[in-house]
Amino acid sequence: MDSCYAIEVKHVSKSFKVYLDKGRTLKEKMLFSGRRKYEERKVLKDISFEVKKGQGLGLIGHNGCGKSTMLKMLTKIMYPDSGTIEMRGRVSSLIELGAGFHPDMSGKQNIYTNASIFGLTKKEIDARLEDIIAFSELEDFIDNPVRTYSSGMYMRLAFSVAINVDAEVLLIDEILAVGDASFQAKCFNKLKEIKASGTTVVIVSHSLSQIEEICETSIWIHQGKVRECGNPKDVHEKYMLYVMDKRIEVAEKELVRQNEKREEEHKLVESVKDSVEKTLIKDIEITDVKMLDTLGNERNIFKTNDRCAVNISFKVNTERNNMLFAAGILRIDGILYHSMKMRVDGEKGYCLKEDGEVLLTIDDLTMLPGLYSMDVAIENEDASIVDYITNAYKFEVVSIIHDEGITRLKHSWKVR
C-alpha cells in the first residue's frame, strides 16, 4: 500500500442472494427444500478508488446504489466477493450509532463499553471521558440508564463517543442529523475540525452541500459502478441533472395516469351536468388547465428559469362580451407567489362566442425549487368573477443550485 494513501480500494465487487421463497423455520426448510430459490444481485461491480491521508471523500447516488455497502466493507462489517480493500490507521465509523449500548447501563458505563469497541484502552477512555460527556451535553443524565434517554439523547451520546476516539480514518453514513439544529451545527464543526487535524474522512450522504464543504473528491455510484469521480461541485451538478431528468420522466408517467383519471371524472361530471337545469350552468366555464413546455408537451415538473406556458380551455354556454382571464401561482403553504391578470396587463376584454383556449406564456420561471399550484379565473371588466378554479394545476420546480427564498434574481457581484 502506498504510504500517501489512507484507503485503497481495487476492483471490488459485492453481490447478495435475494431469496424469492425461503423457509423460515426448520420444519419449512426440511419439507420445502425445493422452495429455496433466489436470485443473485450484484450491488457493486469493479469499484476502484484511493483516498489520500487527511482528505475527504463523498459517496453519492440514489438509494440502493451500493454506497452504504461500500462503507460497510471499509469498516469490515462485510467483505467483498472479489478485489481488495486496504486501510491505514485506526478506523472509527459513524454508521450504526449506539451499536453495543446496553439499555440498563448508565450513559457513563456505555461510554466505556462503546469506546472499547473502537479500540481504546481504559486509560485512553479515562482521559477522554469529560470531553465526551461535555460534547454530548448530557451531564445531568450521564448516570441514568440509557433506556430512559430520548432517541435524540441516545444518538448524541453515541456520536460524542465516535467523534472523540482520535481516529485516523473516519467513516460516516447519513448520521449528521443528530439532535436539534444547534447540536447538528456543533457536530459538523467538530467534523471539520477533525479533518483539519489530518483525519481522513469518507461520507455517505444525500446532503451534497455538506460533502462540498468537507470533501476534496466525490464519487457518484450508479448501478454498482463509478459513474463520475472528481471535484464535488462538478460531480454533483451532473448527478443533480440526472436526478432531475429521472424525476421528470417519472412525473410524465404519473401525468399520463392522472390525465386518464381526469378524463373519467370529466365524463362523470358531464353526465351529471346533463341532468342539471340550464339555469344553474355558468355562462362561460373553465374546462381544463395544462402547463406546457417549449415543445408544447404537457408537464408538471419544470426547472428554475424554464420557459413554459399555461393553456386554459373554456366552454361557452352563453355568449359574453368583455371577458378577461387571470391566473395566480401559489406556494404549497398558500402564499401567493404571483398573479397574472389581463386586466392589470392592460388587455381589452374579449367577446367569447364559442369554446376555445387561451395561452399564457411565462418567459422565465424564476421560482426556486418547491411545490406550487395554479388558480385560474374568467373575469368581467369590473373584476367580478364569471368562473374560478382553485388548485387547477399542481406542479413542481427543481434546480441544481442550492439557493434559498422564493425567487431567483438576476444579479452580479463586484468588489472594488
* CATH number for the domain that contains residue 338: 2.70.50.60
| Among 369, 360, 374, CA closest to 301 | 369
Asked if the model's pLDDT at residue 99 lies above 70, the reply is no
What pLDDT band is residue 266 in, cutting at 50, 70 and 90? low
Q: Is residue 413 part of a domain?
A: no
Q: Which of 241, 271, 301 is the last residue of a domain?
A: 241
Question: Is this model's pTM higher than 0.75 or not?
Answer: no
Dist. CA 49–CA 226, nearest whole Å: 9
Asked if the model's pLDDT at residue 295 lies above 80, the reply is yes
Q: Is residue 403 part of a domain?
A: no
Q: What is the overall mean pLDDT for the chain? A: 86
Dist. CA 67–CA 77, nearest whole Å: 14
Do both 220 and 309 map to the same domain?
A: no
Do both 308 and 195 map to the same domain?
A: no
| Among 212, 61, 191, CA closest to 135 | 191
Dist. CA 42–CA 81, nearest whole Å: 10
pLDDT at residue 279, as a whole number: 46
Please count the other Cβ atoms lying within 10 Å of the Cβ belonging to residue 174: 15
Q: Which residue has the higher pLDDT, 229 or 185?
A: 229
Do both 224 and 352 map to the same domain?
A: no
Lowest mean pLDDT among 228-242, 258-272, 281-295, 383-397: 258-272
pLDDT at residue 274, as a whole number: 55
Q: Is residue 220 part of a domain?
A: yes
Q: Is residue 250 part of a domain?
A: no
What pLDDT band is residue 182 in, cutting at 50, 70 and 90? confident
Do both 292 and 369 map to the same domain?
A: yes
Do both 230 and 309 map to the same domain?
A: no
pLDDT at residue 327, as a whole number: 96
Asked if the model's pLDDT at residue 277 lies above 50, the reply is no
Do both 106 and 212 map to the same domain?
A: yes
Cell readout for 402 is 442550492
Lowest mean pLDDT among 86-95, 123-132, 222-231: 86-95
pLDDT at residue 40, as a whole number: 82
Do both 102 and 221 map to the same domain?
A: yes
pLDDT at residue 402, as a whole number: 72
Dist. CA 49–CA 87, nearest whole Å: 12
Strands of 38-52's sheet in order across: 38-52, 5-19, 82-87
Do both 236 and 121 map to the same domain?
A: yes
pLDDT at residue 217, as a whole number: 95
Q: Is residue 267 part of a domain?
A: no
Domain residues for the domain of 218 are 5-9+50-241
Q: Is residue 303 part of a domain?
A: yes
**Distant-in-sequence, close-in-space partners of 59: CB < 8 Å, separation ≥ 6:** 67, 70, 71, 202, 203, 204, 205, 218, 219, 221
Do both 193 and 312 map to the same domain?
A: no
What pLDDT band is residue 273 in, cutting at 50, 70 and 90? low
Question: What's the mean pLDDT in 372-389?
Answer: 93
Lowest mean pLDDT among 27-31, 165-169, 270-274: 270-274
What pLDDT band is residue 270 in, cutting at 50, 70 and 90? low
Q: Is residue 232 part of a domain?
A: yes
Q: Is residue 295 part of a domain?
A: yes
Contact by Cβ (8 Å): 327, 374: yes
The CATH number linked to 134 is 3.40.50.300
Asked if the model's pLDDT at residue 225 lies above 60, the reply is yes
CA 350 to chain centre: 45
CA 256 to chain centre: 24
Do both 159 and 226 map to the same domain?
A: yes
Contact by Cβ (8 Å): 352, 320: yes
Please give the tally of structural domains in the chain: 2
Do both 74 and 174 map to the same domain?
A: yes
Do both 170 and 318 map to the same domain?
A: no
Which residues are registered as beta bridge partners of 360?
310
Q: Which residue has the higher pLDDT, 33 or 326?
A: 326
